[in-house]
Amino acid sequence: MAIFKRSNEDETMKITDIKDMPNFNPEVKNGMDSVSTGRVMIKDTVAGQLPHCARHGALNKMSKEGIWRCIMCNEGCFEVE
C-alpha cells in the first residue's frame, strides 16, 4: 500500500494493488500488482495528487468503488477510503 497526501486537501489518498482490494475477482489478470512493482504511482497535478501510470501518464477512475486504470496498458490501483 502507498499513502500520499493530496496537495489541495487535508485528506490522505491511499492506494493499493488491485489484488489486495475487498472482493477481489481472481479472474482479473492485468494490473494486479502495479503499485508494489512501481508501475503505478502518485503524481502532483493541478487537481492534487492522483494515480499515474509510469509509462503512459494519468489513470482514469473506472468505478465508484475506487478502481483506477491506464487505458493504454491496463495497469491499475485501488483507492482505499
List, for residues 5-43, the tens digit of each pLDDT value: 555 555 568 899 999 999 899 898 889 999 999 999 988
* Whether the predicted pLDDT of 62 surpasses 90: yes
What is the value of pTM for the model shown?
0.81
The three cell numbers locating residue 69: 486504470
**What percentage of the chain has pLDDT greater than the value 90?**
57
Q: What is the pLDDT of residue 44?
A: 77
Q: What is the mean pLDDT of the segment spanning 62-74?
A: 94
